[in-house]
Structure 1
């Protein structure tokens, strides 16, 4: 009896509740800090500095020239190929095929994540480019010139968006490590090709990475695409992606 009273007191204590809540949700809070807040904070700093000075940062040009100093015919072919593969529009048929598979498998939560992240990434990129109006580097004649605005890099954003979608879709399997490793190399390679071709400043690529990272992780915390199965309780069948999570049902009921 005394143990029950003690437990009730602990439950009623605001300090105890806060402690238990932080212990239970520390992973989500850490992910929110590192995966959402910090990337968006870096993006904000880059945006403000470039808005004040269109020339960019002191390290933009030296890095571009250093990358350009390695130019040779073999790397030219590689950079142009990567640029075509990483083209935002190239991702459409790939994501479309994945979306069709998710639709046939009735994985509504994963499909919602794919559509939300993809469409949102395009909107963010186009809006930022039109607002910033940053022109592309003019340091040398590029072998694959671009005519649109530079900030943030669409290729950089698209690469992270595609990798994030694949990563969360494979979250419950051992393949996620393969996706993470190969995806990281792909993201770096796409960023390198934009610098090598001289069509983006390093700050454009960094900004694209940061805003896409914050967006994809932020949406994942809301939609939870990795929650493909919920644990069975009291013998009830587990929920699949055609059903809402308990907390989502509660929110709809309240509204």
Structure 2
């Protein structure tokens, strides 16, 4: 009769990471994300200083705003002013908070809710940084036929509204990717971002290069954020109690 089986010595396994607990949400990341992000940032700054140093370009761009200002119609004005409010800082932050809370309640996934929030906010943050660097004056409302929302100041470049719209499109696509809705969400996000860009010219508070630079600024923010999130966020979430980061029903 064989003797009792010898007990095998075991060593404790590595501590599970946040990614293991929650299937940590990974943002789409460019291969050379740091270089690409730096190049996009440089492109925004170069464009901003170029239009500042060439007054003729600003005068030509102002004609676009002036032409739109003479062709205001009630329906388009209502749409533009609605966008002016909805994609502004107060309503925009409220919209981000609502969607993040819904994600948290439905998916029971704190990391995904946080990822959505930081991606959606990244456009605003980037626009504020570039506004301080470039300090371009807004179009003079006194030179417009029908200024809908007169604004002045050296915060024209780039547009915060458009930067937010682009970042929000990235954030919503992040939630929808891998589902049958991903292409629809991507297309809708692009249409909304372009519509917001048009509205800023229609209202007369930005120049065309302001709204064009917003797409670059928000893209730069997303590229850099994705690289940083994928590298450092799992370690940060691993420090949180498992009860906070483990969705209901997952083991």
**2:126–2:221 contact (8 Å) kept in structure 1:** no
Does 2:224 correspond to 1:223? no
Q: Which runs of 5+ in 1 are unaligned?
A: 1-26, 225-240, 244-255
Whether the 8 Å contact between 1:79 and 1:193 is mirrored in structure 2 is: yes
Q: Equivalent residue for 2:136?
A: 134
Give deviations 1:68-103, integer Å, cap 9, x for gaps: 353223322222122222223212122112222333
Cα contact 1:91–1:162 (8 A) shared by 2: no
Instruction: For CA contacts below 8 A with separation 6 or more, give which structure has more relative contact order.
Output: 2
Identify the match of residue 145 of structure 1 among 146, 150, 153.
150
Instruction: For 1:203 and 1:163, locate their aligned partners in 2 and report how far apart those are by CA, in whole Å.
Output: 20
Maintained 8 Å contact 1:46/1:207: yes
Q: Determine the C-alpha separation between the residues in 1 that align with 2:84 and 2:180.
A: 30
Deviation string, structure 1 residues 90-129 (Cα, Å, up to 9, x no partner):
1212211222233343424323323433444333322332
TM-score (norm 2): 0.67
Relative distance call for 1:66 and 1:36 in structure 2 (3 A) is farther
Distance 1:33 1:128 in 2: 18
Alignment correspondent of 2:116: 114
Aligned partner of 2:6 in structure 1 is none
Relative to structure 1, the CA distance from residue 116 to residue 179 in structure 2 (aligned partners, 3 Å threshold; closer, same or farther) is same
Aligned counterparts, 1:45-194, within 5 A: 45-53=46-54, 56-57=57-58, 59-104=60-105, 105-138=107-140, 139-140=143-144, 141-148=146-153, 149-194=155-200
Mark the CA change 1:61 to 1:199 in structure 2 (over 3 Å): closer, same or farther: same
Deviation at 1:36, TM superposition (A): 4.2
**RMSD between aligned alpha carbons?**
3.1
Q: Which runs of 5+ in 2 are unaligned?
A: 1-28, 231-243, 247-251
